[in-house]
């Protein structure tokens, strides 16, 4: 295992996220975005394989789980500070990494993880999260997640992320020491159940349509035994119908791949909502500080003029027990003056924090929009090409068989008429 990360990798994300630290974090982020650095330019990252293991869980019970082999190596021999490395990680560790990134970088749209369990299963696919096909799909999804983070201009420079890729021991302890878990917001994933249900139903309907052609294949085969002159053509057409019916399995497997790409962007809603929630929280804090400052100003005005605008316990006390002495008012005025200065500084600080957050978040959202448009365009074009290819392939052979049958039928009819 690598002992330490390369010197170029710096901790951009701050872990405590106080107002001053968040401001510094945002400024560092803007610098990194302008640089456009990417860990993928220096390091090849892959999730090479998955392996089932057994062990004891937190309640000391035996359980089976899956681990994933992460392999890293320098892009070329000239890259310094990176050595070939490999380690095993569980899915829960990927979740821990993503939660850390969400909290440490509240202005970044963090890539989602693949499903931990299949919510809606396709025809003939297992809902078991230990199923080899599902584990393989999740392996591809986890590798894609690492590539998304490593190619991000900000997240790729995070020290915790680099250690996740290169250090096998004590990684969790280092993450928990940041104290990020105290600031984790409850996730509110936009339900993709409706979309997945529609896709699943379409897949089932498509499966049924294709399998019906298997019955046509049997009809043509039996028909070939009756029509001796056209027997070969009918038999060939039956074979092509059988092949068409069987091709649905490959089609659904291809569609499953494209559905996973679309699901990734459905699950991106988590990160987008997290950014919006952080902005709402920042705005709420600004409004509370401004309201407190307004209250302090009103208290100062009442203290100076000796009049109370609204009903209060203080006003009733003054009427019952008399006004305060000049010394008491002077002492209170001094305290209020200090509180007003602190309040004005707090409002100014919160305004700056809110403006910087909006500015930085908007930059990353624009980056995400470009990425989304590019990825979805490529996926949809590939899907359309796949559909055209899948639909043309079986019917081209069947069309030739029917043309031959028609030609043979016309020949037989012409010969019979000549007689």
**234-281 pLDDT per residue, tens:** 777 777 777 777 777 777 777 777 777 878 888 888 888 889 888 898
How long is the chain? 419
In the chain, how long is the greatest CA-to-CA distance?
A: 134
36-182: CATH topology is PX Domain (3.30.1520)
Q: Take residue 150 and report the two structure tokens written for it.
A: 């490593």
3-37 b/e with 16+ CB inside 10 Å = b? eebbeebeebbbbebeeeebbebbebbeebbeeeb
- Domain ranges within the chain, ordered by starting residue: 36-182, 185-307+325-418
Give the CA angle between residues 371, 88, 181 to the nearest 5°: 65
38-42, 77-81, 91-95, 142-146: segment of lowest average pLDDT: 77-81
CA dist., res. 110 & res. 90, Å (int): 19
**71-119 pLDDT per residue, tens:** 998 888 777 777 788 999 999 999 999 999 998 999 999 999 988 876 6
Q: How many CA atoms lie within 13 A of 191 on its CB side?
A: 4
CA dist., res. 239 & res. 143, Å (int): 41
Global pTM reads 0.68
The SS3 of residue 375 is helix
For 185-307+325-418, CATH number?
Answer: 1.20.1270.60
Q: What is the sign of the dihedral through the CA atoms of 27, 30, 31 and 37? A: positive
Q: Take residue 372 and report the two structure tokens written for it.
A: 């989304």
The predicted model gives 30-55 an average pLDDT of 73
């Amino acid at each position: 295992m690598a002992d330490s990360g390369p010197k170029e990798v710096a901790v951009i994300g701050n872990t405590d996220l106080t107002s001053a630290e968040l401001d510094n974090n945002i400024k560092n982020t803007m610098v990194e975005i302008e640089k456009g650095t990417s860990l993928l330019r220096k390091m090849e990252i892959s999730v090479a394989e998955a392996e089932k293991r057994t062990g004891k869980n937190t309640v000391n019970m035996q359980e089976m789980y899956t681990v994933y082999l992460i392999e890293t190596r320098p892009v070329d021999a000239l890259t310094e500070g990176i050595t070939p490395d490999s380690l095993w990680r569980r899915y829960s560790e990927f979740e821990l990494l993503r939660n850390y990134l969400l909290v440490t970088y509240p202005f970044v749209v963090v890539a989602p993880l693949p499903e931990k369990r299949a919510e809606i299963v396709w025809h003939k696919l297992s809902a078991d999260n230990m199923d080899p096909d599902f584990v393989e799909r999740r392996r591809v999804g986890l590798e894609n997640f690492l590539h998304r983070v490593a190619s991000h201009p900000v997240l790729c420079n995070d020290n915790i992320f680099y250690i996740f890729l290169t250090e096998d021991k004590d990684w969790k302890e280092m993450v928990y020491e940041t104290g990020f878990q105290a600031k984790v917001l409850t996730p509110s994933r936009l339900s993709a159940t409706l979309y997945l249900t529609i896709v699943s139903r379409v897949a089932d309907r498509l499966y049924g349509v294709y399998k019906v052609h298997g019955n046509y294949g049997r009809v043509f085969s039996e028909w070939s035994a009756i029509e001796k002159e056209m027997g070969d053509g009918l038999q060939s057409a039956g074979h092509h119908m059988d092949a068409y019916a069987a091709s649905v399995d490959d089609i659904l497997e291809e569609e499953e791949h494209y559905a996973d790409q679309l699901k990734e962007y459905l699950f991106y809603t988590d990160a987008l909502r997290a950014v919006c929630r952080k902005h709402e929280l920042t705005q709420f804090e600004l409004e509370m500080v401004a309201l407190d400052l307004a209250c302090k100003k009103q208290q100062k005005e009442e203290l100076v003029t000796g009049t109370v605008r609204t009903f209060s316990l203080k006003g009733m006390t003054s009427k019952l027990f008399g006004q305060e002495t000049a010394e008491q008012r002077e002492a209170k005025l001094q305290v209020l003056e200090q509180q007003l200065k602190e309040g004005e500084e707090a409002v100014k600080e919160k305004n700056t924090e809110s403006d910087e957050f909006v500015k930085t978040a908007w930059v990353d959202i624009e980056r995400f929009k470009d990425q989304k448009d590019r990825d979805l365009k490529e996926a949809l074009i590939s899907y359309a090409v796949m559909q055209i290819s899948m639909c043309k392939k079986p019917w081209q052979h069947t069309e030739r068989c029917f043309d031959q049958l028609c030609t043979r039928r016309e020949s037989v009819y012409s010969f019979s008429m000549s007689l």
